[in-house]
Amino acid sequence: MKPFLGINLSSDEGNELLNGNEFLVAKPSAILTNALDSVSGKTQKIVKKSQLPLPLRVVMYACELIALIIIGGLLRADVSPAESYHNAPWLYWLFAVCVIIGILLFILGKRKERQVLEDTETKRTLSDSDAIEKEILAELSVPDNAREVDVLSFCYKEENETIKMAQKGVPLTNMSFHIFTDSENLYLADLDGKYAFPLSSIQVIQTIRKPITVMDWNKDEPFNKGIYKQYKLTSDNIGSIHCKSYHIMELSYRGETYGIYIPSYELPIFEELTGLKAQ
């Protein structure tokens, strides 16, 4: 099976090409692509400007880490807080200093971010970016009611006709797409293009009860609230999301089997649009 959006490292460790070009049916015009690249460069500068300088961010993260290590050690200690303070008062003072510095830097960072985002030039750039993105989606014929889903991308190797994720412990990339269907195809579209999968080629949705970690959380609703609470997702201190399982939507196309890998929290949309139930 060939993973859609997978990167095959079986014969070339330096390969960077994503699987799936055979399903690509439309790309945005060069004019819109160039316009998006231009505004994206400005957006990246805004993001950089809105952050604390790197040395201060390092200090903030270091303080958070030290505070967590100290509190963890104190909770595991076999002595009372009073006794542990008597034995190592400097540990409590270090904890307090780290917490204070961490909180102050966090507040300073949020204040700087707010100031940058409220700037007139920033608002104009973000508005331009939204307008170009809407133009691209319209050019790709993405309906206004298309929902957004995450699809997994990862490096892999083929071993005895089995797909093995090549980078253990590395979060998978969860790429965001607009998903919709017509009478013939299921479509996945983003700002780089539109992929079409014949509905008649989709065979089954498999459930893989193995944990995975995805790089980001792309939803407006928190991962542990609302419709996502049922999936018992967890997060770590760098913002990666831990899922207890994932799914593979298998399809047969031109004599080859492909798999679209999706995180557990996206299953209902794929089931609804394909009419299949995960096995």
Q: How far apart are CA 125 and CA 43, in angstroms?
A: 7
At 53-65, the pLDDT tens digits run 888 888 988 998 8
Q: How far apart are CA 37 and CA 68, in angstroms?
A: 40
Mean pLDDT is lowest, of 4-13, 55-64, 70-79, for: 70-79
pTM of the model: 0.75
Look at residue 261 in the predicted model and tell me its pLDDT: 96
- Report the relative pairing of strands 212-214 and 7-8 from DSSP bridges: unpaired
At 25-42, the pLDDT tens digits run 999 999 998 888 888 788
Question: In 74-102, which positions are buried (b, 16+ CB within 10 angstroms) versus exposed (e)?
Answer: beeeeeeeeebeeeeeeeeeebeebbebb
Number of H helices, E strands in the chain: 6, 15
Cα angle value 28/19/159 (rounded, 5°): 170
Look at residue 79 in the predicted model and tell me its pLDDT: 76
Nearest Cα neighbor of 173 from 9, 50, 7, 22 is 7
Look at residue 23 in the predicted model and tell me its pLDDT: 95
Look at residue 12 in the predicted model and tell me its pLDDT: 79
Look at residue 178 in the predicted model and tell me its pLDDT: 96
Q: How far apart are CA 195 and CA 20, in angstroms?
A: 8
Look at residue 266 in the predicted model and tell me its pLDDT: 96
Q: Which helix (H) or strand (E) holds 262?
A: strand 256-263
Q: How far apart are CA 130 and CA 127, in angstroms?
A: 5
Q: Exposure of 235 by Cβ count < 10 A (0-12 exposed, 13-18 middle, 19+ buried)?
A: middle
At 90-135, the pLDDT tens digits run 888 888 999 999 899 889 888 888 887 777 877 887 788 888 899 9
- Report the relative pairing of strands 24-26 and 212-214 from DSSP bridges: unpaired
Cα angle value 89/93/94 (rounded, 5°): 115
Q: How confident is the model at residue 145 (pLDDT cuts 50, 70, 90)?
A: very high
Q: Angle formed by the axes of helices 89-117 and 54-76, to 10°?
A: 140
Look at residue 31 in the predicted model and tell me its pLDDT: 92
At 222-279, the pLDDT tens digits run 999 999 999 999 988 778 899 999 999 999 988 889 999 999 999 999 999 999 998 8
- Report the relative pairing of strands 193-198 and 147-153 from DSSP bridges: unpaired
Q: How confident is the model at residue 167 (pLDDT cuts 50, 70, 90)?
A: low
